[in-house]
Amino acid sequence: MKRTTLRIRILMTWVILASFFVGSIHSQQSTAISIDGAQIYYKTFGKGQPLLIINGGPGMNSDGFEGLAVSLSEHFMTIIYDQRGQVNLHCRCWINYDHHGPDAQRCRKYQEAPRI
């Protein structure tokens, strides 16, 4: 019983670590842009029509969506970004929903994408 549990833990750890590694290999570009005193970090994958993937929930950064972004990058230029107040952001500003739309638009404009 203990050996089986240990094997399952080792396998799960390997799968989790491999998923982060695979996403990092496929990252075409990782960029930070300054918007109104906040650093917004985003990554792009692939080429073509832009597709913005917006991660959900407070306290969740975009790392969990790299696998999806890589899969969709075969047909689109996928963009994932960390919203204000997430793990990779250093912001001493107010965080509210009024910022999320303009932040996403600035990521799009920085990539010179005509529309998303």
106 in Cβ contact with 41 (< 8 Å): no
Q: Is 116 within a domain?
A: no
Domain membership of residue 13 as a residue range: 2-110
- Angstrom distance (rounded) from CA 1 to CA 50: 49
Nearest C-alpha neighbor of 16 from the set 66, 58, 86: 66
- Angstrom distance (rounded) from CA 27 to CA 115: 21
Q: Report how many domains make up the chain.
A: 1
Nearest C-alpha neighbor of 79 from the set 36, 33, 111: 111
- CATH number, domain of 75, equals 3.40.50.1820
Q: Is 27 within a domain?
A: yes
Q: What is the pLDDT along the chain (116 residues), one digit of tens a residue?
A: 677 777 777 766 765 655 555 554 455 677 777 777 777 788 899 988 888 888 766 667 788 888 899 999 999 989 888 877 665 545 566 666 777 777 777 777 777 766 65
Pairing of strands 77-81, 38-45: antiparallel
Q: Is 15 within a domain?
A: yes
Q: Is 93 within a domain?
A: yes
Phi, psi of 83 (to 5 degrees): -70, 160
